[in-house]
Amino acid sequence: MALDRITLSRFRNHGESRLDGTAHFNLLIGENGAGKTNVLEALSLFAPGRGLRRAALTDIPQKQADGSPAGGFAVSARLDSGDGGEPVLIGTGTREDRLTRRLVQINGADSSAMMLGEWLAVSWLTPAMDGLFTDSAGARRRYMDRLALALDPAHARHASRYEAALRERNRLLDSDSEPDPQWLDAVEAGLAQHGAALAAGRALLVERLMGELAVLPDRPFARPALHYAANAPYSEPALATELRTQRARDRAARRTLAGPHRDDLMVMMAGKGIPAAHCSTGEQKAMLIAITLAHAGLAARGRPGVLLLDEVAAHLDPLRREALFERLQVGAAQVWMTGTERAPFATIATDLSVWRVSGGKVERTG
């Protein structure tokens, strides 16, 4: 197991909810809008980043009648490291006087969201991700970065510093006055350093995922083939040279036209050689599940892993559903699933811890 004794305080529609006695498989049952996905979102905040909804911190706490936050929120849990050592207590949330600043504690000591990634690997699949292959390149870049972050918490630092340097360079390029070349040199040095590291993290992610996917059968889940489509050469010196030599072009465009902020993740259906965007919705869902399972397996090596699957069983035929459960049973990650009824999970009923969620309240039922 990974997480137990989980508490949610003033989190979305959950005033005070507690989940004890977790297992390898954990199921949240309830009607639509009951608060099941809110529990998954709370667990996703045990990873660096903005969680599975990418929500602003001020959107998460329970609301007052006028829609403003009623205060801060808190999520905490006991983490079993899996090596027989003492459990670790982790928590995150906001305070009423600091609603826009995320706080993290590990064993009662103040820490950072990045450090959560050193203790726990969290992956998720939600219905909102079903359109990934037909979405924008920006959505796929964010997807790559989230997966890379679960494998290497330092990826977040490179991503944030690259974005900061990119904003500064674009501000200089968009200025009516000619930018100071020395200031551009300094900004581009940081852009090249963190851009090269950002791209290297994405490329390594895709390489490792392909290694996992290559040994999987083509059925019952369509096996995807992944390719990181880089916009420019990404060694640090090469990117620095590209930025310097293209200043005139970028100045005319008033923005930076080369760099990992322009890259994409290309996905093909391996058995047919068809772009994922042109496949059926069922095939796209199957490929997304295959990537999620491959990533969860990678992320959980060397530390506890948690896999969050929102309404996944409802969108699979019985054959694929049973194949999914079989793969999850042999995986190391703790699994959290949601559903409106227990019937789709009948074949793993003896392995489940079950909670009924209703109106933001959680009750253990099995």
**What would the pLDDT profile of 131-147 be if each residue is shown by its tens digit?**
999 999 999 999 999 99
Task: Parse the chain into domains and list their residue ranges.
Answer: 1-120+304-366, 132-302
- What per-residue confidence (pLDDT) applies to 1? 63
Q: How far apart are CA 90 and CA 35, in angstroms?
A: 22
Rounded to two decimals, the pTM is: 0.90
Q: Say which CATH class 1-120+304-366 falls into.
A: alpha beta
The mean predicted confidence, pLDDT, of the chain is: 93
Are 1-120+304-366 and 132-302 the same fold in CATH? no
- What per-residue confidence (pLDDT) applies to 348? 94
Q: How far apart are CA 43 and CA 349, in angstroms?
A: 22
Average pLDDT, stretch 182-203? 97
Average pLDDT, stretch 200-222? 89
Q: Say which CATH class 132-302 falls into.
A: mainly alpha
pLDDT of 82 > 70? The answer is no
Q: Which amino acid is at 237?
A: P
- Structure confidence at residue 301 as a pLDDT band (50, 70, 90): confident
Q: How far apart are CA 249 and CA 210, in angstroms?
A: 36
Question: To the nearest whole percent, how much of the chain has pLDDT over 70?
Answer: 99
- Structure confidence at residue 62 as a pLDDT band (50, 70, 90): very high
- What per-residue confidence (pLDDT) applies to 331? 86
Query: Does residue 275 have a cis peptide bond before it, meaning omega lies within 30 degrees of 0?
Result: no
Geometric angle at alpha carbon 290, from 289 and 295, rounded to 5°: 95
> Of 170-184, 215-229, 265-279, where does mean pLDDT reach its minimum?
215-229
Q: How far apart are CA 332 and CA 300, in angstroms?
A: 7
- What per-residue confidence (pLDDT) applies to 91? 97
CA 291 to chain centre: 13
Q: In which region does residue 271 sit, left (phi positive, over 0), alpha (psi from -120 to 50) or beta (all else)?
A: alpha
pLDDT of 126 > 90? The answer is yes
What DSSP state is assigned to residue 69? B
Q: How far apart are CA 365 and CA 354, in angstroms?
A: 6
Q: How far apart are CA 29 and CA 325, in angstroms?
A: 17
pLDDT of 83 > 70? The answer is no
137 vs 153, residue with greater confidence: 137
End-to-end CA distance of the chain: 17
Q: Which amino acid is at 330?
A: V
